[in-house]
Amino acid sequence: MLGLTERMDKELAGAFEKAGYDPALGKAVVSNRPDLCEYQCNGAMAGAKAYKKAPFMIAEDVKAQLSDTAVFSSVEVVKPGFLNLKVDEGFLADFLQEMDGDERLGARKAEKPETILLDYGGPNVAKPLHVGHLRSAIIGESLKRLGRFAGHRMIGDIHMGDWGLQMGLIITELRHRKPELCYFDDSFNGEYPAEAPFTISELEEIYPTASAKSKEDEAYKNEALEATGLLQQGKAGYMALWKQIMKVSVADLKKNYEKLNVSFDLWKAESDAQPYIPDMVEYMKNEGFAYEDQGALVVDVKQEDDTKEIPPCMLLKSDGASLYTTTDLATIVERMDDYDPDEILYVVDKRQELHFEQVFRCARKTGLVKKDTKLTFLGFGTMNGKDGKPFKTREGGVMRLENLIADINEEMFRKIVENRSVKDKEAEETARIVGLSAIKYGDLSNQATKDYIFDVDRFTSFEGNTGPYILYTIVRIKSILNRFCEEGGDLTGGRILPAQNASEKNLMLQLSGFGNAAIGAFEEKAPHRLCAYIYDVANAFNSFYHETKILGEEDASRKQSLIHVLILTRKVLENCIDLLGFSAPDRM
């Protein structure tokens, strides 16, 4: 179905054409003077030059063609040539009625569906998830859902870090602790044990210990570097150990992402790109792209118009080991082979921008991707504490994601039981749902590229621009609808009638904007736009609610219409939060 603005555009285009002007000038945009009108059309100004005519006169001509319009209740020309528009209440009601019956709630679908590979999450195995990985997961999950809703084929890949120095460090530390393990016995040719020689908590302790040692002990570090190289070359014992590390870590990661309501279509890792590396390196050498520089193999990626220095892209270190750039380039080869995507979109900390600039340039220059394959870096800002510095624990250490979630849930639980006497079990579950909304909305409502302050008090508040406020609004609607049903009401009867006052009309206008908000948020890769939209809807609903008798309405068909508006508001809000990656409880 056509959206509300598209319908207005059609009406305006017809009027411009009938008045003898280019129909393309007929476009409605949301008014920047909401005190004067709801929408406006600036086409007369845009056309003034071409028609050598005062915009005011063009606008008057167009207005004359709209004298019997059913779309607008008022059309006014104001200097220098704006057309100020108000939407006809009957037209709006009919639109919402149609929207209510449409499973996409009036949102258009992409004309050209694309295959988009979304690289997000990016945890490093054997290292605990920390808050830095939170943003990638939250933003990525939302973009995946928004893209899918827009009609694209979204393939979400977690792209785990499992092929770098941290693996060599873990192997080295294990060898120091348990040298007797068969993984370290070069003459071993039996079958490696099915059980891992460590638990997840041991593993999580091993990595930081090893990392700290390597910073102080040069020999230890060299051992770890060598182990990394041997692993990358496929040394049997190390590969078997690596598999165990992966098994234990992945199970733990799955559990954690599930708690965040984040899921991936592909659980691929850097190591999956390894088989593509030798051929890729050969190719880059043979084609003359790669050359040796101080023992390392590099590809130049600087361009004439660079304003800052872009260093060459390193393919192999002097010891032949691959690097972060190598696995990322080979992963591009793998992805092109497997999915031939129209776009690969990376949701990664913006501090990695240079790395991706190098990788993208190298991939283009060497033809790893097609000319029209888009490579996009969505770099997100840092999540800071109230002191404006990267979010830390109270003790100043790196905050583990699990702990952050637990803290929020605890705070939410406190607020929920303080509000009313809900049974503990239910309150815990509710706190979990509302807590997730606090975290996700708190993050997504900020423009992704900007740093933001993670403020537990503000994010968990039931008032203001927060997740809990949105959920509270949904729960309020659910409870009115429940009461309506308990009183014998029928949710399916009647239809939406023209608004009778300003707050009702405002809510209806807000609801009609769902399609543009949801699709626009994806096109601009900007979930914060959808957050801004639902905040407006929630506010419009709450003013409407405070000004309108709903269950007490005596006119039966009007009451039924109000109930319909409520149902549609709930649908719009629920669809939006689903696109953002969280859900609402039944009560709070």
What is the binding site for ligand ARG (CB under 6 A)? 119, 122, 124, 159, 161, 328, 346, 348
State the minimum distance, in angstroms, from the CB of residue 98 to ligand ARG. 43
DSSP 8-state assignment for residue 551: T
State the minimum distance, in angstroms, from the CB of residue 358 to ligand ARG. 12
- Nearer Cβ to ligand ARG, position 127 or 415? 127
* Cα–Cα distance, 320 to 230 (Å, whole number): 10
- Which of 130, 157, 123 is closest to 382 using CA atoms? 130
State the minimum distance, in angstroms, from the CB of residue 335 to ligand ARG. 10
- Nearer Cβ to ligand ARG, position 376 or 543? 376
* Cα–Cα distance, 168 to 207 (Å, whole number): 10
> In the bound complex, which residue of the shown chain has the CB atom lying closest to ligand ARG?
122
**Strand, coil or helix: what is 467?**
helix
**Strand, coil or helix: what is 208?**
helix
State the minimum distance, in angstroms, from the CB of residue 132 to ligand ARG. 7
- Nearer Cβ to ligand ARG, position 375 or 508? 375
DSSP collapsed to 3 states, 479-518: HHHHHHHHCCCCCCCCCCCCCCCHHHHHHHHHHHCHHHHH
State the minimum distance, in angstroms, from the CB of residue 236 to ligand ARG. 26
- CA 223, 225, 230, 234 dihedral sign is positive
Count CA within 13 A, CB hemisphere, residue 191. 3
- Nearer Cβ to ligand ARG, position 40 or 331? 331
- Nearer Cβ to ligand ARG, position 159 or 361? 159
State the minimum distance, in angstroms, from the CB of residue 352 to ligand ARG. 7
State the minimum distance, in angstroms, from the CB of residue 349 to ligand ARG. 6
- Nearer Cβ to ligand ARG, position 41 or 332? 332
State the minimum distance, in angstroms, from the CB of residue 401 to ligand ARG. 13
Answer for the pair 517, 529: CB distance below 8 angstroms, yes or no: yes
- Which of 205, 202, 176, 272 is closest to 232 using CA atoms? 272
- CA 508, 509, 511, 515 dihedral sign is positive
Distances (CA, A) of 80 to 56, 84, 96, 297: 6, 12, 33, 63
Which residues are bridge partners to 347 per DSSP?
378
- Nearer Cβ to ligand ARG, position 159 or 528? 159
Which structure tokens are listed for 22?
A: 């280019």
State the minimum distance, in angstroms, from the CB of residue 451 to ligand ARG. 17
State the minimum distance, in angstroms, from the CB of residue 119 to ligand ARG. 5
State the minimum distance, in angstroms, from the CB of residue 114 to ligand ARG. 19
- Nearer Cβ to ligand ARG, position 61 or 119? 119
- Nearer Cβ to ligand ARG, position 344 or 521? 344
State the minimum distance, in angstroms, from the CB of residue 373 to ligand ARG. 15
Beta strands, E only, 289-369: 290-293, 296-299, 313-316, 343-349
- Nearer Cβ to ligand ARG, position 25 or 299? 299
State the minimum distance, in angstroms, from the CB of residue 271 to ligand ARG. 12
What's the one-letter identity of residue 38? E
Q: Which own/partner contact pairs does 61-66 have at CB distance under 8 Å and 24+ positions apart?
A: 61/19, 61/20, 61/21, 62/12, 62/15, 62/16, 62/19, 62/21, 62/26, 63/15, 64/19, 65/14, 65/15, 65/16, 65/18, 65/19, 66/11, 66/12, 66/15
- Nearer Cβ to ligand ARG, position 244 or 358? 358
**Strand, coil or helix: what is 136?**
helix
Cα torsion 474, 475, 476, 478 to 10°: value is 90
- Nearer Cβ to ligand ARG, position 118 or 474? 118
State the minimum distance, in angstroms, from the CB of residue 207 to ligand ARG. 13
Cα torsion 439, 440, 446, 450 to 10°: value is 80
State the minimum distance, in angstroms, from the CB of residue 343 to ligand ARG. 14
- Nearer Cβ to ligand ARG, position 334 or 504? 334
Answer for the pair 547, 501: CB distance below 8 angstroms, yes or no: yes
For 452, list phi and psi in degrees, rounded to 5.
-145, 165
* Cα–Cα distance, 139 to 147 (Å, whole number): 12
Paired sense of beta strands 72-78 and 452-453, if any: unpaired
Residues 6+ apart with CB under 8 A from 162: 124, 125, 242, 245, 246, 269, 270, 271
* Cα–Cα distance, 431 to 555 (Å, whole number): 39
Count CA within 13 A, CB hemisphere, residue 550. 26
